[in-house]
Structure 1
Amino acid sequence: MQLGTRWTAREEPPKAVPEVLHAQIAAVEEALNPDGLSAPAPRWTLTFLEGRPVAELDTGVVVTQDAAGEVVVRYDEGDEFA
């Protein structure tokens, strides 16, 4: 069993975050625009789905590793309410 964790964007990822995700997590964080309004930094949540790591930022950006071992970055629109 693998447990997930949470951490704040632009901080060092915890040891539980697989090294294979680090470069793409850093790239996502580099693209974040500070708003200048002292808003708190978004937080990452690491979980594991079918044994593969899934890092999701509060903004909806997801960094994961697919079944072939490739790192994939996507945006999860979540459940939209009409």
Structure 2
Amino acid sequence: MQLGTRWSAGSEPPASVPASLRQQIEAVEDAMPADQLGQPTPRWTLTWLEGRPIAELDTGVIVSLDANGKAVVRYDEDDEFG
């Protein structure tokens, strides 16, 4: 069993975040608009499903691995913020 973790966008991901996800997580963060209203920084949540890592940002952006082990980015259409 692997436990998940949380961290704020823009900060260094914890060591438990697999290297296979880090480049796409960074790309998502680079694409985020700068906050001009003083809103709280969104947070990432790392979970594991059937042994595969899934990083989900509070905004509904999800970074996961496809069947070939390649990191992919998608948006959760059912997210409450979407």
Q: TM-score, normalised by structure 1?
A: 0.92
Q: Which amino acid aligns with 2:29?
A: E
Q: Which amino acid aligns with 1:69?
A: G
Q: Which amino acid aligns with 1:2?
A: Q
Cα deviation 1:21-77 (Å, max 9, x = unaligned): 110000000011123111111000000011000000000000001221111100001
RMSD: 1.2
Q: Which runs of 4+ in 1 moved over 4 A?
A: none
Asked whether the 8 Å contact 1:52–1:66 carries over to 2, the reply is: no
Asked whether the 8 Å contact 2:60–2:79 carries over to 1, the reply is: no
Q: Which amino acid aligns with 2:58?
A: D
Give unmatched runs, 5+ long, in structure 1: none
Alignment partner of 1:62: what SS? strand
Identity of aligned residues (%): 66
Partner of 1:77: 77
Cα separation, 2, equivalents of 1:5 and 1:39: 22
Partner of 2:25: 25
Partner of 1:56: 56
CA gap 1:79/1:28 in 2 versus in 1, 3 angstroms:
closer
Cα separation, 2, equivalents of 1:33 and 1:57: 14
